[in-house]
């Protein structure tokens, strides 16, 4: 067998280790070791780890964490969290959340979650504390056929669940189209669901026109704008008696939630027109939290 001697020759067994001067050596267990302070070693399984002085080592599990002194360590679960001192650590579930103080933490649920009012805190361009909202979004990819009837109908067929004591901002853009029925009626908009509200305020800009079942290229026969301070149905259209009709509002506003629950965008027909409306492809609703309810919302520096 060839050898490595003190004169840099290959030794029997191909074993290298470090001497007292810190020279690199492979020992009889065929593992790499660096001696003295601030050294790195491989254990018998060939894993790098941190030794007792906080130096980096690979353990048998080959996973990463942070020690109480802020040193990176590979843990047995290969997951991440923040420890009590704010150091980044991998937890057993490998999922991300935010603590009540706005710190990022990996939770056990397997998905990103936020604090009680659902936002991430961030300091943007040294302009002070700003907030990145956890926006929720829903869009129709196919037309949703409504009912030829009176009473509230869901615009998108779904509602969103909101949390208590939170102020949200929202935007709703949709188009209703029908091609039959000449009984005169009006259309109103509102919000239903199980959430109880402190207050709501939103503007509605809408247009309506007689069409052949589509709004492509059709000028508005009439349009109007409202500001509404109630979630209950509010009539916003003029009387409609044409068989072919399109109605397309844009709604933007804010809502302050008292008790959490569902929040459902709705439209209502004053009488059954003789033909059902359909909510068109691309209609959408997006909503995101701003702050805790109970006072004026103040994000950024205001005076």
> What is the tens place of the pLDDT at every residue in 205-250?
998 887 665 677 666 777 789 999 999 999 999 899 999 999 999 9
Sorting pLDDT into bands at 50, 70 and 90, what band is 86? low
Model confidence over 8-66: pLDDT tens digits?
Answer: 433 444 444 445 555 455 555 544 444 444 344 545 555 555 455 555 544 444 445 55
Percent of the chain at pLDDT > 90 equals: 45
Sorting pLDDT into bands at 50, 70 and 90, what band is 134? confident
pLDDT value at 131 more than 80: no
Return the higher-pLDDT residue of 80 and 198: 198
- For residue 190, the model assigns a pLDDT of 98
DSSP codes joined into one string, 207-236: EEE--SS--TTPPPSEEEEEEE--SS-EE-
- For residue 39, the model assigns a pLDDT of 46
The pTM for the full model equals 0.61
- For residue 135, the model assigns a pLDDT of 87
pLDDT value at 286 more than 90: yes
- For residue 228, the model assigns a pLDDT of 97
299 Cβ neighbours under 8 A, 6+ residues apart: 129, 130, 131, 290, 291
């Amino acid at each position: 067998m060839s050898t490595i001697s003190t004169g840099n020759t290959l030794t029997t067994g191909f074993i290298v280790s470090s001497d007292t001067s810190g020279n690199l050596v492979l020992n009889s267990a065929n593992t790499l070791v660096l001696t003295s302070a601030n050294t790195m070693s491989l254990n018998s399984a060939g894993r790098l780890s941190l030794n007792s002085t906080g130096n980096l080592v690979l353990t048998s599990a080959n996973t990463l964490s942070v020690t109480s002194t802020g040193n990176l360590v590979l843990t047995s679960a290969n997951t991440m969290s923040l420890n009590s001192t704010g150091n980044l650590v991998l937890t057993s579930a490998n999922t991300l959340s935010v603590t009540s103080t706005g710190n990022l933490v990996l939770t056990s649920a397997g998905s990103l979650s936020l604090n009680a009012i659902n936002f991430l805190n961030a300091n943007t361009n040294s302009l002070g504390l700003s907030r990145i909202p956890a926006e929720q979004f829903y869009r129709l990819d196919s037309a949703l056929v409504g009912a030829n009837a009176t009473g509230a109908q869901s615009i998108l067929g779904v509602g969103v669940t909101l949390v208590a004591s939170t102020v949200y901002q929202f935007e709703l853009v949709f188009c209703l189209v029908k091609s039959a029925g000449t009984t005169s009626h009006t259309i109103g908009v509102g919000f239903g669901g199980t959430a109880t509200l402190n207050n709501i305020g939103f503007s509605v800009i809408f247009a309506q026109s007689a069409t052949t079942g589509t709004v492509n290229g059709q000028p508005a026969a009439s349009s109007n704008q409202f500001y509404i301070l109630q979630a209950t149905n509010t009539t916003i259209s003029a009387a409609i008696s044409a068989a072919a009709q399109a109605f397309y509002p844009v709604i933007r506003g804010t809502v302050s939630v008292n008790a959490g629950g569902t929040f459902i965008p709705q439209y209502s027909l004053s009488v059954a027109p003789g033909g059902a409306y359909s909510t068109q492809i691309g209609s959408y609703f997006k909503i995101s939290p701003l702050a805790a309810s109970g006072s004026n919302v103040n994000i950024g520096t205001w005076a």
